[in-house]
Amino acid sequence: MSELINFNKLDDHIALLTLNRSDAANAMSKALLDELNKYIVEIEQDSSIRCTIITGDGEKAFCAGADLKERKGMTEDQVIQAVRYIGASVSNVAKMKMPVIAAINGVAFGGGLELALACDIRIAVNTTKLGLTETSLAIIPGAGGTQRLTRLIGLGQAKRLIFTGKPVSTDEAINIGLVEQLTDQENLLNDAIEVANQIAKNGPIALKQAKTAIDKGIQADIETGLSIEHLCYKETIPTDDRLEGLKAFKEKRKPIYKGE
């Protein structure tokens, strides 16, 4: 039986996770989520990995969301637990200490878009569509969509997308801030890896602290956010990497960071 998630390590410092259910639009079955969570733990424990890319197999779908075929025959309580597991898995992606890039190779609907929203940066092929389509099925986004989408694109646009349930083109998605970069199918992975390499060359402790400051600060008032930023900044001061950065700048060479 083939793996439902393919894990590859690129250029020493980049993890690539590929949802490997293209025959089912890379939908989130329980087995796929089990593998995703297993690899999240493995990646987080590998101090050499500084950035993670998540993408989907094939060209049609990044992830079409929950596996509705698997959901057939479930009781109401089982459905609630299944949605809770998707939400917890998506949150595990959001909680990863390193930057995470969603390389959106095809449609991202429902839980698939919620997975992309849990990533820090979204790069999408310019021919696909994205949407939280749950209200068309008489439910609501249940894996963080109502919260993460609102924080990303604002109250009015989030309500428009969720209330209508209508997918948007990538041209509209980049205009409203739903994705950060567009590319074509041929160059998607290379473009994502290029961004990941630009990230991974920087100080790994600084990357973690910057992500913490942004993610925690956005949930607080400005004064609390500034305090969070200061605390995160202080964590970078006693590091060898900071001294290496200064030394490399003085010597006009590229720094060699070790995460120490």
Which residues participate in catalysis according to the annotation?
66, 111, 114, 134
Alpha-carbon gap, residue 215 to 50, rounded angstroms:
17
Please report, for residues 27, 67, 83, the alpha-carbon distance to residue 71 in angstroms, rounded to integers and kept in the order given: 12, 7, 10
22-80-53-240 Cα dihedral, nearest 10 degrees = -160
The type of residue at 260 is E
Beta strand pairing call for 51-56 and 100-104:
parallel
Closest Cα to residue 93, out of 20, 157, 15? 15
Reading across the β-sheet that carries 129-131, which strands appear in turn? 61-63, 107-109, 129-131, 168-169
